Chain A
Amino acid sequence: MNISAKWITTLVLTFSSLALVFVLNPDGQLRILANLLTFAGIYALAAVGLNVHFGLTGLLNFGHASFMGVGAYVTLLLIPHAAGREGEINENGLPFLLALLIGIIAASLFGLLLGLPAMRLRGDYLAIVTIAAAEIFRLLVRDLESITGGVYGIINFSSALQKYRPVFFDEAVISLDLAPAQIWVGLLSWISVFLVLLLLKRLSSSPWGRALRAVREDEDAVRALGKNAVWLKLQSFMLGAGIAGVSGVFLAFNYGFVETTIFIPLLTFYVWAIMILGGVGSLTGPIFGSIIFWAIISETDKIASLIFENADGQQLAGVRFMLVGLLIMLLMIFRPSGLLGKKEELLLNVK
């Protein structure tokens, strides 16, 4: 399949999955579309970060949710917020951008902390360590209630970001009968996606990116050629973790609250599904993977209710996962390199 055919398939799939929203919903289509595109932007950012780990460097990271969580928690705790059961508003806080920067650094450092012992292990072991570390992080956050708000979470932080919303933006969004707060988060996350992709485009074709790809291919050969493979892997881990941190912050702002159940392993697996769908190692793949994934997530209920007439909500939710699973299976059979992945650079062990 040549490049243009690949792009045509991708664009057709993307637009037809978005068209589902208009076909299946009698009203509120624009609202549903806005909602799913916001989630798509946030998850695309997370998938771009994961792609640095797996696509570029070949690191099996199954703890992506924890990097998103560290970024979110650190940022939110630094801006004005209310944490815990009492929910007293702490008015003192840093400006959003400064807090975000510290949040990104914190997520990167968490990556470093995790990576230092784990990078000496090979492939599968890293996967085990990351999945365990992510759960430890989540349980710690749940139990350290005095700092993180525990199961009650953090609320009342949205204004730190929403106060920067321009007036003309509000007017335009309201005239479309949409919620300005959500569109603002969605817009900012898509802007972040493009900024990060610009940075990665530069990096992946640079000597640094070449070194990471060499690590992905054969660590022993990298060592034999005088390069510090562990340090290269740590750098990759930190960069991807930092990107995930930003995505975690936007996820929290989109919900308007944050609590530990957001950062469960399922989140990590969603991000993996998006990355595989878009194409492992492809820079722009996660964008399309994420839109298609979220269109399916948001519309499967309706598709399922067309097929099964008397199903209740819980049963429909089950069908949703079945359909997502089916989609990934079909993808692995017919396009194992994902929508935009290069066949020559196929990373997953399928022929």
Chain B
Amino acid sequence: MSNKLLEVKNLKKTFGGLKAVDVEHLSFNKNELTSVIGPNGAGKTTFFDLVSGFQQGDTGEIYFKNKKITKTQPYKISRLGLIRTFQLTKVFDRMTVLENLMFSGSSIKNDSFFQSILNTSSSKKYESDLEERAFEIMQDLNIEKMSESYARELSGGQKKLLELGRSLMKNPDLLLLDEPLAGVNPKLAEDLLEKIKNLSDQGITILMVEHNIEAVMKISERVVVLAEGKVIAEGTPQTVRSNDKVIEAYLGTAHE
């Protein structure tokens, strides 16, 4: 099936006696917006870490664009077009918002030592194109007023936006969003959700971990439910919502 962008087989990761991730098979199709939900400690973030190369699984294989990326360095996975964000936002605090974005978009060649010393007219052109692109993204995310502020001066929600923008500078094929709405006020959360939906419509495949169930159900095309590292349900929001196991493990009996 050529429609598969990411495929995970037999992926296991244990911490001591604890099975953090134990996924037999999961695949994610192009252009799909999938949410991974589950109670705290279900292995969602560990799953992201494994896929993005930040942690190594004990067993199993991961394929991205039909290429095996198991035991591959995170930066190499990222260069293939799989970009992730972090649960605890990781912005470059003592760099400006603009610098955060431009660093992200800059190519390896543009970053190189000798290219930087030479500072040719073509690299100046590259930089100004980069700046233009960064401003487009800032405008889209409503943070262009902050372009010269240090990232540490932003509010929690703005940092989330910056991190999203920084990922977009890479023109990702697959975007892994780790709790994009955590700590964001309801109004901004709605905007962010709208943005994520738009990105999905633009053709970026999105995989996100999120606790805000209402948000998840609203925009996801598919939902995967993890509990104790295992996939206990997957499918459209409607089927998952009515699944008994899910209600028991996650939504709780109080949920109507």
Q: Tell me the A residues contacting B by CB distance below 8 Å.
A: 199, 202-203, 206-211, 213-214, 216-218, 220-229, 232, 235, 239, 344-345, 347
B-chain residues with CB within 8 Å of residue A232 when the two chains form the complex: 111
- CB pair A207–B127 under 8 Å, yes or no, is yes
Question: How many contacting A-B pairs (Cβ < 8 A)?
Answer: 106
B-chain residues with CB within 8 Å of residue A209 when the two chains form the complex: 116
B150 within 8 A of A: yes
Q: Which of the candidate stretches B95-103, B188-196, B245-253 sits at the interface with the other chain?
A: B95-103
- Docked complex Cα distance between A88 and B116 (Å): 46
Task: Give chain B's interface secondary structure class.
Answer: helix
- Docked complex Cα distance between A229 and B86 (Å): 17
- CB pair B99–A210 under 8 Å, yes or no, is yes
- CB pair B75–A210 under 8 Å, yes or no, is no
Would you give the shortest CB distance from A154 to chain B, in whole angstroms?
A: 33
Total B residues in contact with A, Cβ cutoff 8 Å: 40
Known: A224-B52, A225-B103, A228-B75. A208 touches B111 (CB 8 A): yes
- Docked complex Cα distance between A227 and B83 (Å): 12
- Docked complex Cα distance between A211 and B107 (Å): 11
Would you give the shortest CB distance from B121 to chain A, in whole angstroms?
A: 14
Would you give the shortest CB distance from B152 to chain A, in whole angstroms?
A: 8
- CB pair B78–A221 under 8 Å, yes or no, is no
- Docked complex Cα distance between A210 and B90 (Å): 16
Of all chain B residues, the one with the shortest Cβ separation from A204 is B116
- CB pair A213–B95 under 8 Å, yes or no, is yes
- Docked complex Cα distance between A226 and B119 (Å): 22
B156 within 8 A of A: no
B-chain residues with CB within 8 Å of residue A210 when the two chains form the complex: 95, 99, 102-103, 106, 111
Residue of A214, A225, A239 with most chain B CB atoms under a 10 A cut-off: A225
List of 6 A-B pairs having minimum Cβ-Cβ separation, nearest first:
A206-B116, A226-B78, A208-B116, A217-B92, A221-B90, A223-B74
- CB pair A211–B103 under 8 Å, yes or no, is yes
B4 within 8 A of A: no
- Docked complex Cα distance between A344 and B94 (Å): 7
